[in-house]
């Protein structure tokens, strides 16, 4: 075992999350291209989201357009019905992205997904969109989760 591998194993044993990138579906990113989605902590898939906790969502994407703004829209899709899922910061320019967004640039969007205690224990799909000035999707991703007690 080399030093780097040993260090990673040590961090995992100390309680740090060793999550793999989340498997996602692109649901219509029209003005950008997603390269990675990471939810922490998420050690298995579908991600098990515990009621009363918050999760870090990091989406790496490339933009194909210029945009002065970016706005996040999040839904929980239950039996095909999208239900609005409130997040603390809808403004993508305050979520790790330096605006204005430029074409052919890579961005790391970072936000928090709070799971309220009153949410039911259920399996669902999270649909996360980040929209540009014209309300087109810089990215649109879907990933499965399970809310647990």
Pick the CATH number of 18-148 from 3.40.50.1000, 3.30.420.40, 2.60.40.1940, 2.60.40.770: 2.60.40.770
| Pairing verdict, β 137-148 and 47-50 | parallel
30-63 residue pLDDT tens: 899 999 999 999 988 999 999 999 999 999 999 9
Judge whether residue 14 has pLDDT over 70: no
pLDDT at 65: 96
Reading the block at residue 101, the tokens are 């967004």
pLDDT reported for residue 43: 86
pLDDT value, residue 8: 34
At residue 10 the predicted structure's pLDDT band, cuts being 50, 70 and 90, is very low
Where are the chain's structural domains?
Answer: 18-148
pTM value? 0.84
For residue range 80-132, list pLDDT tens digits in order.
Answer: 999 998 899 999 999 999 999 999 999 999 999 999 999 999 999 999 999 99
So what's the pLDDT on residue 2?
Answer: 40
β-bridge partners, 54: 114
Q: Tell me how many helices (H) and strands (E) the chain has.
A: 1, 9
């Amino acid at each position: 075992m080399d030093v780097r591998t040993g260090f990673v194993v040590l961090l995992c044993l100390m309680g740090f999350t060793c999550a793999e990138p989340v498997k996602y579906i692109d649901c219509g990113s029209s003005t950008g291209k997603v390269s990675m989605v990471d939810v922490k902590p998420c050690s298995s898939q579908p991600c098990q989201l515990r009621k009363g906790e918050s999760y870090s969502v990091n989406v790496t994407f490339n933009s194909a357009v210029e945009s002065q703004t970016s706005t996040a829209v999040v839904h929980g899709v239950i039996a095909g019905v999208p239900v609005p899922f409130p997040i603390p910061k809808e403004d993508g320019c305050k979520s790790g992205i330096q605006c204005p967004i430029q074409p052919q640039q890579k961005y790391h969007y970072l936000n928090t997904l709070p799971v309220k205690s009153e949410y039911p224990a259920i399996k669902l799909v999270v649909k996360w969109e980040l929209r540009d000035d014209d309300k087109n999707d810089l990215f649109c991703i879907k990933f499965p989760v399970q809310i647990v007690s």
